[in-house]
Structure 1
Amino acid sequence: MLKPTRNDATLDHTTAAWCVAALVVGIIVAQVSPHPDASKVVAVLLLLGAGWVAAATFLTHGAGDSLLCEVLRLPEDFHALGIVTLRLRLVNAHRRRPALFLQSHVRVRADGRMLPSPPFITPQLAPREAVELEWSITINMRGEHEIVDLRVRRCFPGSLVVCEQIFLLQHRMLALPAVYRLQDRAVQLLIGRRHAAGRQHASPAAMEDFIGVRSYRAGDNPRHIHLVTSLRMPEYPMELAVREFEDPTDDDVCLVLDTGIAEDEEDRELLLYRHEKSLSFSVALCRLLCGRKYRVRFRFLDADGKARDLRIQHPVRDLARLESLLARVKPISSRKAVQQLLGKQAGLGEAAVLFISLREIAEERRQPRLAVLSVTPDWQMSLVREVVDS
Structure 2
Amino acid sequence: MAHDDSSTFGEQHGVPCVLMRGGTSKALFFHLRHVPPPGPARDAFLKRAMGTPDPLQIDGMGGSRLVTSKVALIGPSTRPDADVDYTFAQCDVERDLIGYDANCGNISSAVGPFAVDEGLVEAVEPLTVVRIHNTNTGTVLVARVQVRDGKARVTGDCAIAGVPGTGAEILMDYTDTLGAKTGRLLPTGQPVDAIALEDGREVRVSIVDAATPCVFIAAESLGLNGDEMPPAIGGDRALIETIGEIQARAGERIGLYAHWRDVHLPGLPLAVIVAPAGREDSDLRARLVFLGKCHDSMAGTGSICTAAASRIPGTRVHAAAGDRLRGEVLRIGHPLGVMAVKVVAQPGAALPRFTALGLQRTARRLMEGVVYVPAETA
Question: Where on the TM-score scale, by shorter chain, does this alignment land: which range?
Answer: under 0.3
Relative contact order higher in (CA < 8 Å, ≥ 6 apart): 2
Greater Cα radius of gyration, structure 1 or 2: 1
* TM-score (norm: length of structure 2): 0.22
